[in-house]
Homo-oligomer: A and B are copies of this chain.
Amino acid sequence: DFLHALEEVQPAFGVNEEELQAVVQNGIIHFADHVHNILRDGKLFVEQVRNSERTPLVSLLLHGPPGSGKTALAATIAMASEFPFIKLISAEAMVGFSEQQKIGYLNKVFTDSYKSPLSVIVVDGIERILEYVPIGPRFLNGVLQALIVLLHKRPPKGRRLLILSTTSNRQMLADMDALDAFASSLRVPALSSLREISSVLRDVSLFSSKEEEARAMTLLQQAGFAEETKVGQLSLGVKKLLNVAEMCRQDQDGAGEKLVTSLMEMGYM
């Protein structure tokens, strides 16, 4: 029964490898430099937690537009740490929870982490965990407050904890006066040029031939997509692109034309 999901949480100590890998379903495609930079900075924070006596608690925020790859990158950094306790917290595990149950769940995961000498907690999609909606705006303030406190709370002596949070709504956190809860933050950009789009599509072999690819790219260019990133012009999450690509792949008249139509109908260019 979904209301008792709380009790079926993972073993208090350990890593749920499978769950973490699932969120990186389509791998990490290196379509731009920032992908590498984010992974490298992530590693630095992992080392700070592992080594510094003064800062047993480090809290990091990954933010960027919807579908830009925040969850996949946070999970990748977490798995790379090889800490004995790694846990992913997301709204998916809390559907139907009351506010109190959510707070209890968060508290339990953090308390569990304190039993391990080295831990990573991924708090994925803060805006969803808070049930934020811009109308109002409304959100679960009790959950927000618990989260701010837990992001702040020193683990017991001898324990160290890295917290990787993700959000597609950094402004929401600013409005909530909650940005101070993070020691640092990293921006995860969306695709912003035809070159990056092309890099991704090649990676998933959308086109059956070089010619088809060339034709599609020409069409996109004609439709206004810029070869290189230009300020304020294109912002397309890698997850969205992968989705459209798969739909177009079904078209019997070939994916190219449908891709152009779809991207344009979705409001890109």
Interface residues in chain A, defined as those with a beta carbon under 8 Å from any beta carbon in chain B: 2-3, 22, 25-26, 44-45, 47-48, 51-52, 54-55, 58, 66-67, 91-92, 95-96, 98, 100, 103-104, 107-108, 111, 128, 131, 133-135, 137-139, 141-142, 144-146, 148-150, 152-154, 157, 168-169, 175-178, 180, 183-184, 204, 240, 242-244, 246-247, 249-251, 262, 266
Contact = CB atoms under 8 A, between A and B. Distances in A.
Number of copies: 6
Counting from the closest, the 6 A-B pairs by CB-CB distance are: A52-B246, A47-B250, A131-B145, A55-B246, A66-B180, A96-B103
Nearest to A242: B54
A103 B107 contact: no
Contacts of A154: 22, 25
Contact of A95 (B107, B169, B204, B243): B107
A107 B45 CA distance: 37
B3 A104 contact: yes
B149 A91 contact: yes
Contact of A111 (B2, B54, B178, B184): B2
